[in-house]
Amino acid sequence: MTDQQEPTEIPGLTVIPADDLKPEDIGMLSVRYVDGAAQLVVTGGTALPAHLPVVDAQGAVVAAYLQAQIPPKRSLARSSAGDENLLLDAVATVGSVSIAYNANSNEHSYYR
């Protein structure tokens, strides 16, 4: 696993050759676990690796992480009354969803 893939272009990020970086430009990476899931944490610097090899205790490469574009944040969607298809589509494509329901009307004043 010695081949390094070329970094892909991601809007807002610039690929910088490693030879052009100063030591103070390079962020320090560490790993933390949140709810059992690993996260890479960068501290300081302004540059991150586009290719991150993972090595075992002997230094042999066992995996690699490549930069990837972060999906955009989800936005608010409004549906009209009775539009269950929009909700079903959101559950199918997004996963968990939150809904807000306006119960401030006379129809909701009494329950049986």
Strands 28-34 and 37-43: antiparallel
Q: Return the closest-CA partner of residue 66 out of 16, 1, 6, 12.
A: 6
CA distance 29 to 54: 13
Residues in Cβ contact with 68 at an 8 Å cutoff, skipping those fewer than 6 apart: 10
Q: Are 33 and 41 in contact (CB under 8 A)?
A: no
- pTM of the predicted model as reported, rounded to 2 decimal places: 0.45
Q: Can you give the residue ranges of every domain in the chain?
A: 18-66
Instruction: Give 97's pLDDT tier (boundaries 50, 70, 90).
Output: confident
Q: 37-96: per-residue pLDDT in tens?
A: 888 888 888 888 878 889 999 999 999 888 776 666 665 666 666 777 777 777 777 767
